[in-house]
Amino acid sequence: MIELIAAAAFFVGTHLLVSGTALRALLIARIGERPYLAVYSVVAAAGIVWLASAYGRAPPIDLWGQRQALKPLAIALVALAFLFAVIGLTTRNPTAVAAEKLLERDDAVTGILRVSRHPFLWGVALWAIAHLAVNGDAASLVLFGALLVLALAGTASIDAKRRAAFGERWARFASMTSNVPFVAIIQGRNSLRIGEIGWWRIVVALLAFAAILHYHRAMFGVSPLPG
């Protein structure tokens, strides 16, 4: 369990304490942006591999057991998570690395960005919440808790970096969007336009969800279905 906690701290720390602070700008000034991104990508990949492998080796420590009654809710949350994550990954977004020039476009806010400017991270957050709801063991608490913290803190960290770097251009984009899903729409700063999202993205997301649901037991050793 100590290894898993260390892996979780490393994974979250390298994201929030390096890429989310002034240390990032210092490193870029020293070695250049492209070398920094290359090194950081390797470190991030190593972090997720370590986290996953440490989770697999963690001892079984039961806290409150599996909540079978919450599995239908968890399945629904994971389906929604796949929609946010897949659609988010396939949509041009000014919050993505090296995509800042999109802030200059009049049509920067489109599709899923009308719902949230951080769709992928909210997908991760929903996925983590779903797994935390049904898995009452210590290892799952550390793994999915770390991913939830990183996803939610990541949205605020990205916003802060973009605000500082792009000023008025970011302010215009942020005024038409929201971090938390649907807030801009509820507040009347934007409107939901399903057609802009792209039906193919929705279909791909649901097919990916269906595949994971079907092969979950074979891949992870546990069925997500009730009973």
* pLDDT tens digits, 111-164: 999 999 999 999 999 999 999 999 989 999 999 999 999 999 999 999 998 998
DSSP, collapsed to helix, strand or coil, labels residue 62 as: strand
Do you know the residue count of the chain?
A: 227
Nearest Cα to 156, choosing from 133, 136, 180? 180
Question: Beta-carbon neighbour count of residue 190 at 10 Å?
Answer: 19
| pTM assigned to the model | 0.91
**Residue-wise over 98-118: b if at least 16 C-beta within 10 A, else e?**
eeeebbeeeebbbbbbbbbbb
d(CA 40, CA 127): 24
Q: What is the predicted pLDDT for the residue at 38? A: 85
Residue in the structure block whose two tokens are 């803190």: 153
Helices (H), the chain: 2-13, 22-31, 33-57, 71-89, 119-134, 138-175, 183-186, 194-197, 199-220
Residue in the structure block whose two tokens are 């991104």: 37
Q: What is the predicted pLDDT for the residue at 104? A: 87
Q: What is the predicted pLDDT for the residue at 20? A: 65
DSSP, collapsed to helix, strand or coil, labels residue 31 as: helix
State which H helix or E strand residue 21 sits in: none
Joined together, the tokens standing for residue 26 give 């210092």
**Contacts of 67 by beta carbon, 8 Å cutoff, 6+ apart:** 133, 134, 136
Which percentage of the chain shows pLDDT scores above 90? 68
Counting Cα atoms < 13 Å in the Cβ hemisphere of 50 gives 19
Residue in the structure block whose two tokens are 């792009």: 166
Ranges in the chain, pLDDT < 70: 20
d(CA 225, CA 75): 8
Q: What is the predicted pLDDT for the residue at 15? A: 86
Q: What is the predicted pLDDT for the residue at 182? A: 97
